[in-house]
Amino acid sequence: MIRRRPVRWHIAVFLAPAVAVYTAIMIIPLFATLNLSLYNVAGDNRVFVGLANFATLFGDARWSASFWNALGNNAWFFLVHMLVQNPIGVLLAALLSSPRLRMAAFYRTAIFIPTILSFVIVGFVWKLILSPIWGIAPGMLDFVGLKGLFAPWLGKEAYALTTLALVSVWQFVGIPMMLIYAALLSIPDEVLEAAEMDGITGASQFWKIRLPLILPSIGIISILTFVGNFNAFDLIYVAQGALAGPNYATDILGTFLYRTFFGFQLQLGDPHMGATIATAMFGIILVGVCIYLFGIQTRLRRYQF
Amino acid sequence: MAQARTPMFRSIAAHAVLITYTVIALFPVFVIVINSFKSRRAIFAEPLALPTRETFDLIGYTTVLKQGDFFQYFLNSMTVTLGSLFFVLLFGAMAAFALSEYRFRGNTLMGLYLALGIMIPIRLGTVAILQLMVASGLVNTLTALVLVYTAQGLPLAVFILSEFMRQVSDDLKNAGRIDGLSEYRIFFTLVLPLVRPAMATVGVFTMIPIWNDLWFPLILAPAEEVKTITLGSQVFIGQFVTNWNAVLAALSLAIVPVLVLYLVFSRQLIRGITAGAVK
């Protein structure tokens, strides 16, 4: 006798709302956007143009100059985060996780506070601090006798992007710090005690024992940084406006997409070229994620305790 | 002797580094807040001085509260954030429970499908999302924002919560089943209370980007009556760029709510992250 298993409706009920909202608002629009990049407007009609929009974006001098500029800037923006934000995050987490440290909770909260602030606040306050007119930065540099070093960092083409990247580092250093801190706390005491038995303590304990154990977390932080940076927009928009001045020196893919899609000043918004840029960004992020998943994640050794 | 001195020295060095970084982290916030309580002349004359009896002035706050529609913006942000948070946590927990509790065909595939959104930012679909919202008449409503942020928050929520739900003991759930509880009762009365710390972690990570987002309010809901506080203060800065008292007061006010929300949740935050890392 075969008993038919009852249909387990509750599984569908539990899954349905999440899957429905996620599919309708995220997945379908994502693919609709990719699809939109294959069309363009001719007269009043929408026509299928294949990859012509991409040819325009990469090849047409009016578009490609902006695109490659934005991409290059974005790569630099990412590099600064990797070289400054993540090492500082690891250092702070390593200090915080030492067992006898007092006031750890206070430091943790204080250092995390910039992360919860909105870009509007962050962009504005750093513009104020670095402004030559209001002059907290020049005043402070003067105080330590280094006034000669001051320059209007946000206004000079050569410095503006790096300055904004550092502001972004300042804001988000709390995230790698928290994740690494959690990873460090989760290392079992026995492992550390065994290391101490073997005479491995202090800094060498960090390099030889703890660092290898938190490498997977560092990998995850790197890919999160990558996705976040190649999707960034708000800070540049708030600090420098949609034109990402001075002279597009701070233009990244996010601001480029906004300008193209939404239009600014005399240029009209162009959804098809906007979709094309979004698709290019999608491709870049996808390549990065795949490199991480197949190239790095699989090679990291997992430790079982 | 030497051994006693080294840890001492090390601890002082650790504190020195941490204090230095704490100052760097808090200094800009400090500058905004102290200057928001000063008169206009004092803001320019001595930007780093604390307000004294002569320089103390609330003109900025009165301007903001009288002139701006700040309260409305604040309410809009609150509605959007709490609304999205509610749906992300409820729908996310339900889906996570289904994925972690039951074995069914397509389970892994469904998990991967939902996890896609962790890596691919929803922003890339903006062009089509705007068309969708225009077509369904949701442009310039808070509903549009709640929908978008719910979709945005779900992947991470499902991912984190299903990790936690796997740790809930099977014996407990089976005991419930023997007592005749329905699967819904088991989820709502047994499992949900046990994963509260994880919910707090997800809550913080979901809430902060929603509260601070500028992109979707700018594109989907720029109308005056549905502006969020982030977009509202951005516009406010543009309009009143010469009224420094008002701008600084507006910024200080904008810091308060997110700080309060963070402090409410943060006690559970670290516990949540750490527990998630330990398998």
Question: pLDDT digit string (tens) for A47-81?
Answer: 888 888 898 888 888 889 999 999 999 999 999 99
Mean pLDDT of B163-191: 90
Rounded distance between C-alpha atoms, residue A218 and residue A184, angstroms: 11
Distance (Å, rounded) from C-alpha A167 to C-alpha A159?
A: 12
A173 contacts on B by Cβ (under 8 Å)? 25
pLDDT > 60? residue B52? yes
pLDDT tops 70 at residue B260: yes
pLDDT at residue B3 above 60? no
Residue A143 tokens read as 């105080």
Given a contact cutoff of 8 angstroms between Cβ atoms, the answer to whether A119 and B212 are in contact is: yes
pLDDT digits (tens, 9 = 90+) for A239-284: 888 887 788 889 999 999 999 888 776 677 888 889 999 999 999 9
Q: Which residues of B touch A117 (CB under 8 A)?
A: 29, 212, 255, 258
Query: B-chain residues within 8 Å CB-CB of A262?
Result: 219
Within 13 A of A275's CA, how many CA atoms are on the CB side? 23
Q: Which residue of B has its CA nearest to A303?
A: B279
Residue B68 pLDDT class (50, 70, 90 cuts)? low
Cβ count within 10 A of residue B268 = 18
The number of CA neighbours under 13 Å toward the Cβ of B161 is 34
User: How far off is chain B from A299, nearest CA to CA, in Å?
Assistant: 19
Task: Tell me the whole-structure pTM to 2 decimals.
Answer: 0.88
pLDDT on residue A301: 64
Mean of pLDDT values over A221-244? 89
pLDDT of B267 higher than 80: no
Least confident of B15-24, B147-156, B234-243: B234-243
The pLDDT > 70 percentage for chain A reads 94
Contact predicate A18/B97, CB 8 Å: no
B17 compared with A131, residue with greater pLDDT: B17
Q: pLDDT grade, residue A190 (50/70/90)? A: confident
User: Average pLDDT for residues A87-116, to the nearest whole number?
Assistant: 88
The answer to whether B214 contacts A135, with C-beta atoms less than 8 Å apart, is: no
Nearest to A239 by CA among A175, A167, A170: A167
B53 CA to chain A: closest CA distance, Å?
22
| Angle of helix A61-80 versus helix A157-172 axis, rounded to 10 | 50
Residues of A in contact with B158 (CB under 8 A): 18
User: Which of A264-268, B141-145, B213-217 is least confident?
Assistant: A264-268
Give the pLDDT band of residue B273 (cuts 50, 70, 90).
Answer: low
| A96·B266 Cβ contact <8 A | no
> Considering only A49-53, A62-66, A179-183, B268-272, which range has the smallest mean pLDDT?
B268-272
Mean pLDDT value of segment A174-188 = 88
Contact B132 A261 (CB under 8 A): no
- Quick one: pLDDT at residue B1? 42
With cut-offs at 50, 70 and 90, classify the pLDDT of residue A220.
Answer: confident
Strand partners, A42: A45
Q: Give residue B275's pLDDT.
A: 61
Average pLDDT, stretch B179-204? 89
Beta-carbon pairs below 8 A across chains A and B:
247
Instruction: pLDDT band for A2, please (50, 70, 90 cuts).
Output: low
For residue A145, give every residue at least 6 positions away whose Cβ sits within 8 Å of its Cβ, in sequence order, or none.
Answer: none
Contact across the interface for B120 and A282, Cβ inside 8 Å: yes
Inter-chain CB proximity A186 and B219 less than 8 Å: no
Which residues in chain A are contacts of B128 at CB distance < 8 A? 28-30, 32-33, 36, 275
What distance in Å separates residue A61's CA from the closest CA in chain B? 24
**CA B176 to CA A219: how far, in whole Å?**
40
Q: For residue B51, how far is the Cα from the chain centroid?
A: 31
pLDDT confidence of residue A303: 60
Contact B48 A136 (CB under 8 A): yes
Total count of residues recorded for chain A: 305
Residue A230: closest CA among A73, A116, A22: A73
Does pLDDT of B200 surpass 90? no
* Nearest-angstrom CA–CA distance, B89 and A203: 41
Which H or E run contains B134? Answer: helix B126-135
Answer whether residue A3 shows pLDDT above 50. yes
| Stretch A147-173: mean pLDDT | 86
What would the mean pLDDT of A149-166 be, rounded to a whole number? 84
Best mean pLDDT range from A104-108, A169-173, A213-217: A169-173
Which one of B33, B127, B129, B239 makes the best mutation probe of the A interface by having the most chain A beta carbons within 10 Å?
B127
Asked if residues A73 and A235 have their Cβ atoms less than 8 Å apart, the reply is no
| Interchain contact, A33 vs B127, CB within 8 Å | yes
CB B114 within 8 A of CB B159: yes
Q: pLDDT tens-digit profile of B233-254?
A: 877 777 766 677 888 888 888 8
Strand A267-268 and strand A39-42: pairing? unpaired
Note whether B270 contacts A109, CB cutoff 8 Å: no
B138 phi and psi, to 5 degrees?
-100, 0
Q: Is the pLDDT of residue B74 over 70?
A: yes
Q: Can you give the pLDDT at residue B134?
A: 93
Mean pLDDT of chain A: 86
Sequence-distant (6+) residues with CB within 8 A of B85 are B153, B203, B206, B207, B210
Residue A125 — very low, low, confident or very high, per pLDDT cuts 50/70/90?
Answer: confident
Q: From residue B160, give the alpha-carbon distance in Å to each of A28, A185, B117, B190.
A: 24, 18, 13, 18
Interchain proximity B114–A22, CB inside 8 Å: yes
Tell me the chain B residues in contact with residue A29 when contact means C-beta distances shorter than 8 Å.
Answer: 125-129, 132
Q: Which residues of B touch A125 (CB under 8 A)?
A: 28-29, 31-32, 251
Tell me what percent of the residues of chain B surpass a pLDDT of 70: 92
Give the residue on A whose Cα is nearest the Cα of B16. A95
Angle at the Cα of B193 from the Cα atoms of A22 and A6, rounded to 5 degrees: 60
ipTM confidence: 0.86
pLDDT of the residue at B5: 56
- Residue ranges of alpha helices (H) inside chain A are 9-22, 28-36, 52-59, 61-80, 86-96, 104-116, 119-130, 136-143, 157-172, 174-185, 189-197, 202-205, 211-229, 234-240, 253-262, 271-290
Above pLDDT 90, what percent of chain A? Answer: 33
* Per-residue pLDDT, A187: 85
Which residues, other chains included, contact B43 with Cβ-Cβ below 8 Å and sequence gap of 6+?
B35, B244, B245, B248
Instruction: Say how many C-beta atoms besides its own lie within 10 A of residue B188's C-beta.
Output: 15
pLDDT for B2 beyond 60: no
